Chains A and B, each alone.
Chain A
Amino acid sequence: MAKEEQFDFVIVGGGPNGVALASYLGKCGASVCVLEERTEAGGSVDNVEPFPGVRLTPHAMYMYSGPAPGFEQLELWKYGFRMDWSPMSENIMSQKDAGVKVSDGIASISEKDMMGWAKISGVSTEKPYIKELLRSIFWTPPHPAEVEITPDNIPYMQVYKQHDPSIWTEELLDMTMFDLMDEYLETEPFKVMQAAVAWYSGAAGHWEGVAIPALGCDITLTLYSGLSVPRGGMHDYFHAIIRSAIANGVIIRTCCPVDEIIVENGVAKGVRLRDTATTDENTIWAKKAVISAVDVRQTFVDLIGPSHVGASLLRKVKDISLKGGSIWVSHLITKEPLRPREKFKTASMSEPGEVGGPFPCDHRDIYYEHVADVDGRKGIPSVPPERLMWLATQSKRFSDAESQCTVPGWYLESPYYVLVPPPEYEQDDPITLKNEDFRGVRPNTVDAQKEEINAYMRKAFSLVLENLDDDLIMHLANTPYESEFRNTGLIGGTWCGTRHCDDQWGENRPVPELARYRTPIDGLYLCNQTSCHPGGLALMAVPYNLMHILIEDGLVEPGDWWYASPWYIPESGKIPANKNGR
């Protein structure tokens, strides 16, 4: 029975990052095995149908990944990848017409706002360069440690210099996104809206030194692919990724939680599965490398452990900041479609199902107040409902042929995202608990008050929605605490695991020693949102970036389909990942 199993690469974790990497490696001809703990791969890019005809997206909803080289390199179109293009994607000006929602109605957006926004986003030049800009932010590995980071070699700085030198200034590197917007835009609510979108999408609008990454998080959603939904939702985008991986020969095993990354003499040799795994053989060896596509804490604290990781690194890993990403996700089922109140109706937003977010965008004070509540403390939300900034997905985004809800007499608006403080746990940090121990963990105070908090959320939503209370049939929610237990990778209940501030971005993510996906353990690489640049979102960016490193280390040699990031700098003494001139 116990047969020795060997693959070139063993990947721990079947989320979008692990599986996309698997597909890349498989395409290079390597033998690859992905081990996923849950019954289905996909990580937090999943779909559920709790009631027949009601399809919810508990986590990832928006398509940020439009510029990814992976679409082309992994040929996702072959594997059924399709979009349901929304008319909203068509015209940037429709966003202007929609205005911005503030407490007492709609604030209009000025011509200067639109011009300024278009300029910094790289869409106002004769040949728009937004795709290059976004690729330089997300789809480029951090520079090697030996390279001094200067305003001239930071990828997005190079892009601005090349395409629109009038934007380029060294000060960009010290700015917050608000600073940047103060320079190019004029209407406060418009700026607040963009900052809030950025905060909900990665780097926040007020963080120092990440003005352009924050802008990138915002515009890849609002100007690029994000206003439309992949057909079948984000999980079907994942389907295209996993199907490309399988077609490339990758073996994917679900219900196979990894218990240990086997390290011998400082080299990662393979993995051992938990005894609940649905395999005959619990040890799987890696000939070339083990790749951890699960969160950075679990990787070092649990799967490797102190006997192979120095105390100092272990402590650094434990100190990685998780703040800024715990989301309370609501799914509202109602008897009538949800209508905006009269004062929120505009030419392009008057119909039910057209209410988006964020709200309220009056002034950055509201933003700061909510930020302080979320990032400044643990516990339950404490800002008054009228100052809670929420983000909603319009059901209008879904085409009629692919609507989220087909139950006659039921209407669904989902998801409504609200950032909340990280939940408080009564027990030890639950990520250090093994799966078996989940049973019997006491619900924390947040969950005990789930219903109460749902009602508080609805109060906030009702400031814009006219008929939510009257027509509510059901308010489903996944709290950060519940999200974390659905997916152990969402440490602290956060959607990104690790926040995208300057101290944890690029060459600093998650800590400088680990920034280029390598670890102090030979043959162990990182490939998860929490442990790698550029972090959260299902971008296929971490795997693309990591590919550069695996090529450098001589572990794979891709064919002609491969091209490296134009801003990538090879590490000296390694095999350059762009040696084929691509």
Chain B
Amino acid sequence: MPIKPDFLFGKPFDEFPDVTEWDVIVLGAGPNGLIAAAYLAKAGAKVCLVERRYEIGGGLATDEVLFPGYYSNNHAIYHMMVDYMPVMQDFDIGKYGFQWIKPNPQTAAVFNDGQALVLSHMVEDTKDSITKFSFKDAVTYGRLMRSWKKIVAEILGPATYLPPMLPIEITMAMQKTKTGQEMLELVEESALDIINNNFENDRVKATLLYNCCIWGLDPRETGVGMFVALYSDRMTNKCYCMGGSHKFAAALAREILSNGGIIIDACEATKITMEGGRVSGIETTEGRILKAKTIMSTLDPHTTFLDLLGKENMPGDLTEAIEGWKYDKWSYFTVHVATKEAPRYNCDDPWANDAFMNLVGVEGTDQLLAHWDNVIAGKIDPNNFAGHATCESLLDPHLVHSPYGGHVSFFQMHAPYDIEGGWDKMGPELEAAILEKWQKAAPNMTRDNIIRTTHETPVGIERRFPNMRKGGIKHGDYKPIQLGCFRPNQECSSSATPIPGLYTCGASNYPGGAVLGGPGYIGANKVAEDMGLTKWWKPTRRMEQYVETYLDSPLGGLG
């Protein structure tokens, strides 16, 4: 129990009770926890969302890392699934002063000789830019994107919000349409194969490959080729949340609260307790007890099962599966800068300066693969690395609150958690290397222009969010045995687990990491069904179409 003093002059006020009881406890207030809690609170469950940090949001963080006066989106900034997320239709979050924008110039690679390739939201704009490199590639891009967009719109987009299926079930379902068959053809190939087989210009190839693998897809891995369609489409549909990603978290939190849910932060769960073979609640660092017969964890598998639940409460095969969980093969290293002027890239296409994301250091496929191979081997070659940069304040005037004015930007790159030499030494060295490379691409990024810098290493990511183990931005690697119905394992991937009353629904669950909202939504559906709550929401139109077209029976009572 928490310490209470002898109140000398009478107890000043009441505090949150030491022991409370809830219908549902949700662990972790990242995007998934917030979404799960929002659906269930509105369905009438007595929900308590428990967050370790002093602020909700998890990966939806907008922090003053360039203190004082400059705010940065130090975790998720590129929101790829806004067009599909059921949350957008189910909640009227616009009423909280909430807005997305989707810039047309989405990703611009700036090459070392000043050439630029701009991938836009509008395919014809992208084709215009690719034509500069290869007319043939431009035509191919247009043709492939028509097919890939369909695959995403009809299948991958809606399936993000439905429980996973076995590979064999997918194969059968996909036979039903031409789009499905096209997807199956993709699956077998690796990202590198797909891109190599279709495109000829190496700069075009490298740019598209970066786009596909940015979230941790292994370029040489086969069996996951559908991600090429998914990311090629979604990475040209990135949205930005005005005021910073944290505003998305705040809007969801407001839905929870206005529907009677409770959020407590600065409250770390230390134990999931069991009673009569079912979960019974949690204990927190400060010694409070929160009881509930249903617990949804959005934390990574090791935290949920090994640290909080304990092996003694798990069947042996589950323990084995959890212990075998592989964390992300790479994390991120990010340099944040406040500058007087926004970076201006010296390149042959001024549109590159309006792009949401700039690629710097991506020159060709071999060079890019060599960089990634280094990262996987625990190294970064200061003479050969690549990353992406965004000047946030060009999109969003709300991030700068300093008398010096100016802009905030960041440069982010893949980086190993265990780096040769250690991060204490490599952090500053890499920051210097990045600033040098950045200045080559954007000559005004001089020392003189820079007001302040800071960097966040993979170790730092884990320190801010211990559930992002090894700096893992998606709580665990993407590889075929950790994807689809195997994420995190076959028993838990639809959210229910073998432990009665325990559900998992964070980035380590199907469909995975990033701000997809999939795990949280699927978890909320499952819990609502198991608790017998009336679902006040309907699947999106696209989900309904997908279910009708591909599945024999309406799935899991959705609808």
Residues on A facing B (Cβ under 8 Å) = 35, 38-40, 47-53, 55-56, 58, 66-68, 71-72, 76-85, 87, 89-92, 123, 128, 130-131, 223-225, 228, 231-233, 235-236, 239, 243, 246-247, 249, 251-256, 276-280, 399, 401-402, 406-407, 430, 435-436, 438-441, 443-444, 447, 476, 478, 481-487
Return 6 A-B CB contacts under 8 Å, by A number: A39-B71, A77-B17, A85-B2, A91-B8, A249-B258, A435-B397
Quick one: which of B13, B242, B285 contacts A401, CB cutoff 8 A?
Answer: B285
Return the CB mask of B410-438 against A: 1 if under 8 Å, else 0: 00000000000000000000000000000
The complex places the Cα of A82 from the Cα of B6 at a distance, in Å, of 16
The 8 Å CB contact of B402, one of A47, A128, A235, A485, is: A485
Query: B405 near A128 (CB under 8 angstroms)?
Result: no
The answer to whether B456 and A50 touch across the interface, beta carbons within 8 angstroms, is no
Q: Are B63 and A253 neighbours in the complex by a CB distance under 8 Å?
A: no
Given contact pairs A439-B405, A476-B67, A255 touches B247 in the complex (Cβ within 8 A): yes
Q: B132 an interface residue at 8 Å Cβ cutoff?
A: no
B9 touches A224 (CB 8 A): yes
Shortest Cβ-Cβ A-B pairs, 8 listed: A253-B97, A232-B266, A439-B405, A80-B264, A71-B13, A255-B243, A52-B460, A90-B5
B322 in the interface (beta carbon within 8 A): no
* Residue pair A231, B286 in contact (C-beta under 8 Å): yes
Q: For the complex, what is the distance from the CA of A273 to the CA of B243, rounded to whole Å?
A: 15
Tell me which of A38, A233, A443, A486 has the highest count of chain B C-beta atoms within 10 A of its own C-beta. Answer: A486
Whether A255 pairs with B398 at a CB distance below 8 angstroms is yes
A253: which B residues are within 8 A, CB to CB?
A: 96-97
Assembly CA distance A52 to B466 (angstroms) = 11
Contact B54–A406 (Cβ < 8 Å): no
**Interface size counted on chain B using CB atoms at 8 A:** 70
Residue B181 at the chain A interface, CB threshold 8 Å = no
Measured CA separation A87–B3 after assembly (Å): 9
Given pairs A49-B464, A66-B13, 4 additional interface contacts (CB within 8 A): A38-B401, A78-B262, A476-B67, A485-B403
Q: Is B454 an interface residue (CB 8 A)?
A: yes
Q: Is the CB of B5 within 8 A of A277?
A: no
Is B65 part of the contact surface with A, judged by Cβ < 8 Å?
yes
Query: Which of A79, A228, A486 is close to B401, meaning CB atoms less than 8 Å apart?
Result: A486
* Candidate in B12, B258, B267, B400 with the most chain A CB atoms within 10 angstroms: B12
Cβ contact within 8 Å between A401 and B460: no
The CA of A430 and the CA of B98, in the complex, are separated in Å by: 28
Majority secondary structure of chain B interface residues (helix, strand, loop or mixed)? loop
Residue ID in chain B nearest A478 by CB atoms:
B68
Which chain B residues lie closer than 8 Å to A484 at the CB level? 403
B1-28 interface code vs A (CB 8 A; 1 in, 0 out)? 0111110111011111100000000000
> Within 8 Å CB of B10, what residues of A?
128, 131
Contact B69 A482 (CB under 8 A): yes
Q: Counting CB contacts under 8 A, is B113 at the interface?
A: no
List of A residues within 8 angstroms of B223 by Cβ:
none
Interfacial chain A residues near B8, Cβ < 8 Å: 90-92, 123, 128
How far, in angstroms, from A246 to B264 measured CA to CA in the complex?
A: 14
Q: Do A440 and B260 touch across chains, with their CB atoms under 8 A apart?
A: no
Measured between beta carbons, the chain A residues less than 8 angstroms from B63 are: 48-50
**Interface code B440-460, partner A: CB below 8 Å = 1, 0 otherwise?**
000000000000001010001
| Cross-chain contact A236 with B54 (CB below 8 angstroms) | yes
Q: Which residue of B lies closest to A127 (CB)?
A: B10
Contacts A80-B264, A82-B15, A438-B403 known; A278 to B97 CB distance under 8 Å?
A: yes
A439 pairs with B67, CB closer than 8 A? no
When C-beta atoms are compared, the residue in chain A nearest to B6 turns out to be: A90
A172 to B264, CA, bound (A): 44
Instruction: Name the contact of B254 in the complex, choosing from A79, A130, A252, A401 (C-beta under 8 A).
Output: A252
Question: For A82, what are the chain B residues with a Cβ–Cβ distance below 8 Å?
Answer: 2, 15-16, 264, 266, 286, 288
Closest residue of chain A to B399 (Cβ to Cβ) is: A39
A79 touches B262 (CB 8 A): yes
B97 contacts A131, CB within 8 Å?
A: no
**In the complex where A87-B5, A251-B95, A254-B97 touch, is A486 in contact with B16 (Cβ < 8 A)?**
no
Known: A39-B246, A279-B97. A482 touches B397 (CB 8 A): no
Q: Determine which of B9, B65, B98, B456 lies in contact with A278 in the assembled complex, contact meaning CB atoms within 8 Å.
A: B98
Contacts of B267 in A (CB 8 A): 80, 231
In the bound complex, CA of A484 to CA of B68 (Å): 11
B187 at the interface (CB under 8 A from A): no
B residues less than 8 Å from A225 (CB atoms): 12-13
Contact yes or no, A77 B13, CB < 8 A: yes
Given the complex, which residues of B lie within 8 Å of A399, measured CB to CB? 3, 286
Provide the bound-state CA to CA distance between A297 and B461, in Å. Answer: 42
Find out whether the CB atom of A239 lies under 8 angstroms from the CB atom of B265.
yes
CA–CA, A253 and B12, complex, Å: 32
A444 to chain B, nearest CB (A): 8
Instruction: Give the complex CA separation of A439 and B397 in angstroms.
Output: 11
Bound: A80/B47 CA distance, A? 13
A243 and B400 contacting across the interface, CB-CB below 8 Å: no
User: Which residues of the other chain, A, contact B14 by a CB distance below 8 angstroms?
Assistant: 71-72, 76-77
The distance in angstroms between the C-alpha atoms of A76 and B243, with both chains bound, is 28
Give, as a whole number of angstroms, the nearest-CB distance from A424 to chain B: 12
Complex formed: what's the CA distance from A38 to B402 in Å? 12
Residues of B within 8 A of A447 (CB): 403
Q: Is the Cβ of A407 less than 8 Å from the Cβ of B97?
A: no
Tell whether, in the assembled complex, residue A254 and residue B250 are in contact, meaning their CB atoms are under 8 Å apart. yes
How far apart are the CA atoms of A485 and B53 in the complex, in Å?
Answer: 26
- Nearest-neighbour CB distance to chain B for A239, whole angstroms, equals 6
User: In the complex, which residues of chain A have a beta carbon less than 8 angstroms from the beta carbon of B288?
Assistant: 82
Mark each residue of chain B from 239 to 270: 1 if its CB lies under 8 Å from any CB of chain A, else 0: 00011101100100110011010111111100
Residues of the A chain whose Cβ atoms lie less than 8 Å from the Cβ of B99: 278-279
Interfacial chain B residues near A401, Cβ < 8 Å: 268, 285-286
Nearest chain A residue, comparing its CB with the CB of B465: A52
